[in-house]
Structure 1
């Protein structure tokens, strides 16, 4: 994940997250990405529920995941979350799931900031303070001229 400020979320693999082969089922990584993303946003001072109360939604529009090595039951894993890009209504989060120093999975989710009617909004204009806080986790920030 290059040299970027990363938020770290610690999780322990639960039995229900594993498949018949004893490894974490691929569907759980999207859930872990969400756990990392929501924890990062909470740590900068606002929760998803507060965003929604303020009429700001953040739907996922794309998800990518590259599986490198499996995680297994009861292992402690780290989800490292950063922001790849934030520009206008778009924000893309990048993730690394690691066991100790071993990279297990790399992923990305792309989201759009919207209002309750699902109309795109520019977070930098609507919530400049929140936008500035998000920049601390950003690899490359693009602002509108």
Structure 2
């Protein structure tokens, strides 16, 4: 399953050259991830209410072409791995008007409690685990 979220780049996101500042792509990954969870009628607030956090433990981005001010972009997000206490999302950032791939990246997360202790998410929320697992092509 792939979540697609469309946003318009803002002037405040640009650098002195009129190009979107590189760190904003990581913010866009978060937007994509948040919308991905909404597909399962789940949001970060609900997870936090259940004493579950998903800190980023690794992140990467490959920049291919520059996004610029006022571009409409599509954030494509998919869950690519779900195993143990870890999950990995992959992202594609695409300029909507010409369907050009601007960047691709990933984030790796761990299921932890508010005390930052690993948590068995499969046991704590089996219905959500199963739905997430099924969102990966063929499951894990």
TM-score interval for Structure 1 and Structure 2 normalised by the shorter chain:
over 0.9
Q: 1:82 aligns with which of 59, 78, 83?
A: 78
Residue number among 43, 50, 55 corresponding to 1:47 in the alignment: 43
* Structure 1 stretches of 4+ moved >6 Å: none
2:62 counterpart residue number:
66
What stretches of structure 1 of length at least 5 have no aligned partner? none
Query: RMSD in angstroms over aligned alpha carbons?
Result: 1.2
Aligned-residue offset at 1:139: 4.4
**Superimposed CA distance per residue, residues 70-90 of structure 1 (whole angstroms, 9 cap, x where no aligned partner):** 001111000000011000100
Deviations, residues 24-69 of structure 1 (Å, cap 9, x unaligned): 0001000000000011102211110110011011000010000000
Alpha-carbon deviation of 1:135?
2.4
| Number of residue pairs the alignment of both structures matches | 138
Q: Distance in 2 between matches of 1:28 and 1:53?
A: 28
Report the secondary structure of 1:62's partner residue.
Answer: strand
Partner of 2:109: 111
- Secondary structure of the equivalent of 1:124? helix
The gaps in structure 2 that reach 5 residues or longer are none
TM-score (norm 1): 0.91
